[in-house]
Structure formats: C-alpha cells, structure tokens
Amino acid sequence: EHETMVSSKVQRDKLIGGLLAPGFDEQSCLSRYQSVLYRKESPHLLSTYLLERLREHEARQKKCGPHTQSYKKAIEQLKSGQGTTVGDCNYLVWVSYSGLGNRILTIASAFLYAILTNRVLLVDGDKGTADLFCEPFPETSWLLPSDFPIKQFRNFSIGSPESYGNMLKTEAIRSDGSFKGPIPAFLYLHLAHDYDDYDKLFFCEHSQQHIQGIPWLILRSDNYFVPSLFLIPAHQEELLRLFPQKDAVFHHLGRYLFHPTNVVWGLITRYYDSYLAIADEKLGIQIRVFETQTGPFQHVLDQVLACTLKEKLLPEVNAQQSIVSTRNVKSKVVLVTSLNSGYYERIRNMYWEHPTTNGEIISFHQPSHEEHQDSDKKMHNMKAWAEIYLLSLSDVMVTSAWSTFGYVAQGLSGLKTWIMFKPENHTAPNPPCRQVMSMEPCFHAPPFYDCKSRRGTDTGKLVPHVRHCEDMSWGLKLV
Ligand code: GDP
C-alpha cells in the first residue's frame, strides 16, 4: 500500500497538482512531465474549479479541433462569409505578433478569454511558435491549419474594415449590437498597443454581447489584457471562482500552457545541470535595456549593483582584504540574461578580483548574448525561451521594468521579484528597484473608460485587485 501511495504522489506531482492532464505521450514532450524535477512545487492556491474548467476546455478542443467534423462545418461557414447558422463550436484565432514575451502573455490572455467564452483556441504556428511549445491539449492540435481560408489574417491591423472597432466606427455594427449587413462569420479583434477608442470598447459588457454569437474571432495583440477582463461584469464572478488567488492567473495558466519542446528542453536542462544545479541558492538577474544604442551602459550596471546590494541579494565585496575565509558558507549561482554580455562580465570580474565580505562564493553565468532582438529566427527564439525558463527556476529574481520577457519568467516562477525601475536620461533611478506587489504581468495599454457612464475613468481604482503597476504608472495588474 505504501508503494501505491508513493506512486500516486509521484503521479500527482508529475501533473503539478492536477493542473496537467495525464495521457500525453511523454517522449514527444519531455518537459511536460519532467518539469517537476526542476521546479519547486507551486505554493499558490489552485482551485478545483479551474481544474474542472480546464478538463472541460480540453474536451472542447478535442471535439472542435482541426480535422473534426465540427471544424470542417465551421470552416465551410467561414468560407460562406455568413455567421447566421449557429454551430456548436466557436473559435478564437491567435495571430503571432511581437517578441516572445509578448506572445506568451497574449496566448495566455487569449486562452483565458477562450475559457470564459467557451471558444476553441487556435494559434498561428508562424514565427517559430510551433517549434517552441508542445501541444497543450491532449489528442488534438492547437495549431491553426495552414489551409485556413482567411488568407490575409496575418495582415489585419488597426485599419482593417473587418475589425470590431472599425465596424463600430462605420456603424456596420449599430450601438444595439445589430449588424447593418448580414452577420459576418468572423470578426477581427485589434487589441495591440496602438488600438483606438473603438477597439477598446471590446472590454465593455455590451460589446461582449455583440461578439458572443460570431463563430470566428481573429485576435492580434501584444498585451497581457487579463486585468481588464476582470473589470467586465459578466465575467467577474467566474474569474473569481477560477482564481480565488487573483494574483496567480498567469502563474497557473502559464504552467499549464507553455511546455518547451524537446529541443528547447535540451537547452534548458543541459544548462541547468551544468551550471546551476549545484548551488544552494540561485539568483536570476534579467537585464533588458530599451535604448536605441546597444550598450553596455554604466548607469544600467550601477542600477543592477545598487539594487542587488541594497536588497542584500548579492554581498558586498571587500576591496581592502585579499582573502576572506570561505568555510561553511552557502554557494550561490547568479544567472544573468541580457542581449549584451557587458554587465555580466563586469560583475563577474568584480567578484573575481575581490572577495565577498561574508566569504560567500558566487559564480556568474550568462547563456547567450544575442546583441539584437531577432524574433523571426528559430534558434534566437529558442534561446530566449530557454533563458526565460531558466530564470523562472531561480530562488530570487531581479527583473527589468517594462519587459514582458521578465514578466513571463516572474509569473512562471511564482516569485515576487525585484523590479528595476526604468532609467530616465541615462541615470540610474533612486531607489533602483522594489519588490513587486504581485507576480502578475502588467497590462501596458489598458482602456480608461467607464462603459456604464460612457466617460473616462481611472480603471486602476475601480476594484482592489486591479491596480496600477510598479514599473508603469498607467499600466494595470492583478494583485
Ligand atoms: P520585451 O521586449 O522585453 O517585452 O520582451 P519580448 O520577449 O517580447 O521581446 C524581446 C526579445 O528580444 C526576446 O523575445 C528575445 O528575442 C530578445 N531578448 C531580449 N532580452 C533577451 C535576453 O536576455 N536573452 C535572450 N536570449 N534574448 C533576449
């Protein structure tokens, strides 16, 4: 009996508390069931209701997914151009757009929206998305088939007449939600950073009713728009049932959805086992610089050191003594990620040239320095994903303001990281960093509109669990 208890515990751990479905072919995606060997158990509350809804969603993806009867029917309807007949499967198509961090955040947002509205999520496998992530749903595929009939969907943008916003603007959709012409088979949702006031009406309850009956939605976004979903009255109750711990939305959805493919898992595990596994403590430092020149910049180095020393994440060095006794001290590894190698080299040198005041032994590692963002290259994206994942295995983390790359690492880790404020005028800000209120990502471009009174409003002041972000005063995040 002891043995079955042990094996059922192993089984449960492997499924990370029931978040993951059993029954996948393990070899095809080693990371899915091996992540438990690398990650600590999540301390964050996981509701059984979320687990139920995930299993329901998996059934929907299987029933309606590519190559099923329902899918073929829905595609025929899409080709006909009219959305009048009601099928049993509705879809949300995610368009690949922007950097990897942004993509991960928008897939998670789209997934939550799909759960809330009972839609099937299909992702555009373009730009390497299919090379980076395993299939998250059993016995089906979430990849949009290449014969998808709306050929121009990757070119939809703010000006497209098919967008919900533009249809409102031109009154192709009237304010009561009725259509001037025939009901379309699809709508384009433009929720990217440059969206306008009409597009933003998406987050109003009445818009949700307009959109509800449309069989196909095509979404382009580069934002984590979950916080504003929490402000739509129709979804509020459901969201609070799904996430009684409101600041763990991305944490759970991210761990559910994003399993590195075997190639990326190789990058992650070889690096981890070679350089990180041995240490008593792992500190992750993510350095993202939003400047046109490449750097390294002195003020960024100053800021990283000011933050890590002030918050005692790294010990001071002793510039007077040549040797400090190192007996019985913890070993520490620091994983640095950055497009530039300059910060890592200078910090590593500092701790080579001088002993630490407390005798701590620290080693520094940076997997890559890609110099420039190159989001269409396969190996570049794989390294970026591997580094995000490696960061997420840290015990303590320092991240950079405004960076979705950092948000993803933070969310997956489940840690409250130390976020470095964005430097202005090439000066390190003071204070250099602070600990975040919650591990959730920040929604960078939220609407500031009160749908009821039809006036502008501060959406960061409406409910206690949706607040302005630490690193971006106009952004919104769940806390
Ligand atoms: P954000 O721009 O920081 O919000 O993050 P994104 O991930 O959306 O876009 C930045 C992209 O630049 C990443 O996806 C990578 O392609 C690249 N990049 C930025 N920082 C790093 C890094 O530390 N390591 C690696 N390998 N790539 C990075």
Name the residue at shortest CA distance from atom 9 of ligand 1: 99
Atom from ligand 1 closest to the CA of residue 400: 3
Q: Is the dihedral of CA 275, 277, 282, 288 positive or negative?
A: positive
- Tokens coding 141: 């595929």
CA atoms within 13 A on the CB side of 275: 20
Distance 30 CA to ligand 1 centre (A): 24
Class assignment of domain 262-478? alpha beta
Distance 84 CA to ligand 1 centre (A): 43
- pLDDT score for 418: 98
- pLDDT score for 294: 86
φ, ψ of residue 161 to 5 degrees: the values are -65, -20
CB contact set of 129 (below 8 Å; sequence gap of 6+)? 96, 103, 123
- Tokens coding 417: 């990281």
Is the pLDDT score of 84 beyond 80? no
Q: What are the CA-CA distances from residue 23 to residues 28, 33, 190, 256 (Å)?
A: 12, 11, 36, 15
Q: What is the mean pLDDT of the chain?
A: 95
Closest C-alpha to 369, from 391, 352, 382, 384: 384
Written as one letter, the residue type at 175 is: S
- Using pLDDT thresholds of 50, 70 and 90, give the confidence band for residue 8: low
pTM above 0.95, yes or no: yes
The 90-94 sheet, strands edge to edge: 119-123, 90-94, 216-221, 186-191
Q: What are the CA-CA distances from residue 91 to residues 30, 142, 216, 241, 416 (Å)?
A: 29, 11, 5, 24, 35
Is the pLDDT score of 2 beyond 70? no
Distance 151 CA to ligand 1 centre (A): 29
- pLDDT score for 335: 98
- Tokens coding 395: 């015990």
Distance 239 CA to ligand 1 centre (A): 30
Atom from ligand 1 closest to the CA of residue 374: 16
How do 418-420 and 433-435 pair as beta strands? antiparallel
- pLDDT score for 9: 63
Q: Is the dihedral of CA 44, 45, 46, 50 positive or negative?
A: negative
Written as one letter, the residue type at 101 is: G
CA–CA separation, 245 and 354 (whole Å): 44
Average pLDDT value for residue range 350-363: 94
Distance 341 CA to ligand 1 centre (A): 14
At 448 the three-state DSSP class reads coil
Helix axes 342-353, 298-310, angle to 10 degrees: 50
Enumerate the H helices of 65-99 as residue ranges.
Answer: 69-80
Asked if 360 contacts 330 with a C-beta cutoff of 8 angstroms, the reply is yes
CA–CA separation, 118 and 153 (whole Å): 22
Distance 97 CA to ligand 1 centre (A): 13
Written as one letter, the residue type at 260 is: P
Is the pLDDT score of 124 beyond 80? yes
Taken as a whole, the chain contains a residue count of: 479
Mutate which of 371, 373, 388, 403 for ligand 1 pocket (most atoms within 8 A of beta carbon): 373
For the stretch 446-469, pLDDT in tens is: 999 999 999 999 999 999 999 999
Q: Where are the domains of the chain?
A: 41-257, 262-478
CA–CA separation, 82 and 58 (whole Å): 27
Tell me the percentage of the chain whose pLDDT exceeds 90.
90
Asked if 93 contacts 124 with a C-beta cutoff of 8 angstroms, the reply is yes
Is the pLDDT score of 7 beyond 80? no
The complex's ipTM works out to 0.99
Average pLDDT value for residue range 104-123: 98
Asked if 440 contacts 478 with a C-beta cutoff of 8 angstroms, the reply is yes
Asked if 116 contacts 60 with a C-beta cutoff of 8 angstroms, the reply is no
Pocket of ligand 1 (CB under 6 A): 98-102, 288, 337-339, 368, 370, 373, 375, 380, 383-384, 387, 403-405
* Environment class of 422 (CB within 10 Å of its CB; exposed 0-12, middle 13-18, buried 19+): middle
Q: Where are the beta strands (DSSP E) in 84-228?
A: 90-94, 119-123, 186-191, 216-221
- pLDDT score for 6: 56
Average pLDDT value for residue range 235-241: 98
Closest C-alpha to 218, from 184, 183, 189: 189
* Environment class of 377 (CB within 10 Å of its CB; exposed 0-12, middle 13-18, buried 19+): middle
For the stretch 176-227, pLDDT in tens is: 999 999 999 999 999 999 999 999 999 999 999 999 999 999 999 999 999 9
